[in-house]
Amino acid sequence: MRMYDNPVIGGFHPDPSVCRVGEDYYLVCSSFEYFPGVPLFHSRDLVHWRQIGNVLDRPGQLDLPDTARASGGIYAPTIRYHDGRFHMITTNVDGGGTFLVTSERPEGPWSDPVWIDLPGIDPDLAWDEDGSCWCALAGVSVARIDTVTGKVLEGPLSVWSGSGMQDPEAPHLYRIGDWWYLMLAEGGTGLGHSVSVARARSPRGPYEPAPDNPILTHRSTGRPVQSTGHADLVQAPDGTWWAVLLGTRPRGWFPGFHVLGRETFLTPVEWVDGWPRIAPVLERRPAPAACHPLQPEPPRDDFDAADLAPHWISPRRRPRSCWSLSERPGWLTLHATGGSLDLPGHTFVGRRQQHPECRIAARLDPGSGRAGLSVRMDEAHHYDLEIAGGEVGVIARIGPVRQELARRPLPSGPVTLTVDIRTADLGPDTIAFSADGGEPLAELDGRYLSTQVAGGFTGRVIGMYVTEGSAALDWFEYLPTDGA
Query: Mind giving me the DSSP string for 88-129?
Result: EEEEETTTTEEEEEEESSTTSPPPPPEEE---SSS-EEEE-T
DSSP string, 38-94: EEEEEESSSSS-EEEEEEE-STTT----TTSPTT-SEEEEEEEEETTEEEEEEEETT
Average the pLDDT over 119-147 and give the result: 96
Given pLDDT bands bounded at 50, 70 and 90, which one contains residue 287?
confident
Work out whether the CA dihedral 156, 158, 160, 165 comes out positive or negative: positive
| Mean pLDDT, residues 282-308 | 88
Out of 223-232, 288-297, 316-325, 391-400, least confident range: 288-297
Q: What is the pLDDT of residues 449-461, one digit of tens each?
A: 999 999 999 999 9
Q: For 8-22, 261-275, 293-307, 343-357, which range has the lowest pLDDT when averaged over its residues?
A: 293-307
Across residues 167-195, what is the average pLDDT? 97
pLDDT at 195 over 90: yes
Number of H helices, E strands in the chain: 1, 39
Q: Does pLDDT of 484 surpass 80?
A: no
Q: List pLDDT tens digits, range 53-94.
A: 999 999 999 989 999 999 999 999 999 999 999 999 999 999
Residue 325 is predicted with a pLDDT of 98
pLDDT at 334 over 60: yes
Task: Indicate which residue of 57, 124, 169, 365 is catalytic.
Answer: 169
Q: How many CB atoms lie within 10 A of CB 294?
A: 13
- Please state the length of the chain: 484
Q: What is the pLDDT of residue 223?
A: 96
Domain definitions of the chain by residue range = 3-286, 300-480
Tell me the β-bridge partners of 380. none
Residue 174 confidence (pLDDT) above 90: yes
DSSP state of 313: B
Q: What is the pLDDT of residue 310?
A: 97
* pTM exceeding 0.95: yes
Question: What average pLDDT does the structure give for the chain?
Answer: 96
At residue 182 the predicted structure's pLDDT band, cuts being 50, 70 and 90, is very high
Is pLDDT above 90 for 245? yes
Q: Which residues contact 229 (CB under 8 A, 6 or more apart)?
A: 170, 185, 186, 187, 189, 193, 194, 195, 216, 217, 245, 246, 247
Q: Which residues pair with 418 in a beta bridge?
A: 361, 434
Q: How far is CA 457 from the centre of its chain?
A: 9
- pLDDT at position 134: 98
Catalytic residue list contains 15: yes
Fold observed for domain 300-480: Jelly Rolls (2.60.120)
For residues 312-332, average pLDDT: 97
Q: What per-residue confidence (pLDDT) applies to 483?
A: 57
Under the banding of pLDDT at 50, 70 and 90, the label for residue 199 is: very high
Planar angle of CA 143, 146, 150, nearest 5 degrees: 90
pLDDT band at 294 (very low <50, low <70, confident <90, very high): confident
**Which of 369, 351, 370, 368 is closest to 360 using CA atoms?**
351
* Residue 194: closest CA among 221, 159, 176, 173: 221
What architecture is the 3-286 domain classified under in CATH?
5 Propeller (2.115)
Strands of the sheet with 97-103, listed across from one edge: 74-82, 85-92, 97-103, 114-116
Banded pLDDT at 289 (limits 50, 70, 90): confident
Q: Looking at residue 155, what is its pLDDT?
A: 94
Task: Check 15, 186, 263, 386 and give the catalytic one.
Answer: 15
Q: Does the annotation mark 379 as catalytic?
A: no
Q: Distance (Å, rounded) from C-alpha 152 to C-alpha 140?
A: 16
Q: What is the pLDDT of residue 158?
A: 97
3-state secondary structure of 405: strand
Average pLDDT over residues 374-391: 97
Instruction: Please report the pLDDT score of residue 292 as a whole number.
Output: 76
Q: Across residues 155-168, what is the average pLDDT?
A: 95
The strand pairing partners of 101, in sequence order, are 88
Residues 27 and 266 sit within 8 Å (Cβ to Cβ): no
Looking at the predicted structure, is the pLDDT value of residue 204 above 90? yes
**Distance in angstroms (rounded) separating the CA atoms of residues 3 and 11:** 21
